[in-house]
Amino acid sequence: LPATRVDAAHKAEALATIRAEIGDCTRCPLAYAGRRTIVFGDGDANARLMFVGEGPGADEDTSGIPFVGKAGQLLNNMIQAMGLKREQVYIANIVKCRPPANRVPEPVEANTCDQFLLQQIDVVQPQVIVALGSTAATYLLGVKQSLSALRGKWHSCRGAKLAVTYHPAFLLRDPGMKGEAWKDLQRVMAEMGLKGAS
Ligand code: URA
């Protein structure tokens, strides 16, 4: 078997171990706030590129898969425009349970949950992480700054290069900003040697 396939199998096993450790989690208040499903993560355990969002919405809470609703469809289009398939990247969120009415996760919720996301990052060991929106950026970088202050430069997180861009749900509300997000993704593509969709 090629080494990358062996790697991928080991990483998938390690991710399954993290998922098992999470169990039927009641570590934070979101467990009692109406969530139905713990949304762990999706994609290639050996991905070079990882996207991190905020938390599950209604569609994700139903399906158990991150970014499957309207914002997820836009994220899929962004991934495709980069010349990748969704199955080739890894996708997860800061919190794994849906906050009521899609509110921003409370610090105690994010700080309780993100230990598992950090373990997922340590297993996948992506080359690049894209933080989607300010919740992802805040908790992955441990600093609270405006998105405009964080965009357009490289940060680091768990040995990966980290770029910050707009959350696709924001881009759905303000489509005029898609060009700015595309600039961020083009910087990621240059770093990774991706040529984009042909
Ligand atoms: N928004 C997010 O931040 N994450 C999802 O999984 C879906 C919508």
Select from 88, 94, 144 the least CA-distant residue to 115.
94
For the chain, helix, strand, coil in percent to 5 are 50, 15, 35
| Cβ of 71 below 6 Å from ligand 1 | yes
Query: Has residue 170 got a pLDDT over 80?
Result: yes
84-118 tens-digit pLDDT = 999 999 999 999 999 999 999 999 999 999 999 99
| Cβ of 78 below 6 Å from ligand 1 | no
pLDDT tier at 1 (50, 70, 90 boundaries)?
confident
| Cβ of 126 below 6 Å from ligand 1 | no
70-87 tens-digit pLDDT = 999 999 999 999 999 999
Query: Has residue 197 got a pLDDT over 90?
Result: yes
Distance from Cα 69 to the centre of ligand 1, integer Å: 8
Q: Which domains does the chain have, with CATH numbers?
A: 3-192 (3.40.470.10)
Say what the pLDDT of residue 198 is: 80
ipTM above threshold 0.90:
yes
Mean pLDDT of 117-131: 98
| Cβ of 56 below 6 Å from ligand 1 | yes
The helix/strand/coil state of 125 is coil
| Residue-by-residue DSSP string for 35-90 | -------EE-TT-SEEEEES---HHHHHHS-SS-SHHHHHHHHHHHHTT--GGGSE
Say what the pLDDT of residue 3 is: 83
Share of the chain above pLDDT 70, in %: 100
| Cβ of 60 below 6 Å from ligand 1 | yes
Say what the pLDDT of residue 2 is: 81
32-63 tens-digit pLDDT = 999 999 999 999 999 999 999 999 999 999 99
Q: For residues 175 and 158, what is the distance between their CA atoms, to the nearest angstrom?
A: 32
Give residue 149's identity as a one-letter amino acid code. Answer: A
Query: Has residue 18 got a pLDDT over 90?
Result: yes
128-151 tens-digit pLDDT = 999 999 999 999 999 999 999 999
Say what the pLDDT of residue 4 is: 83
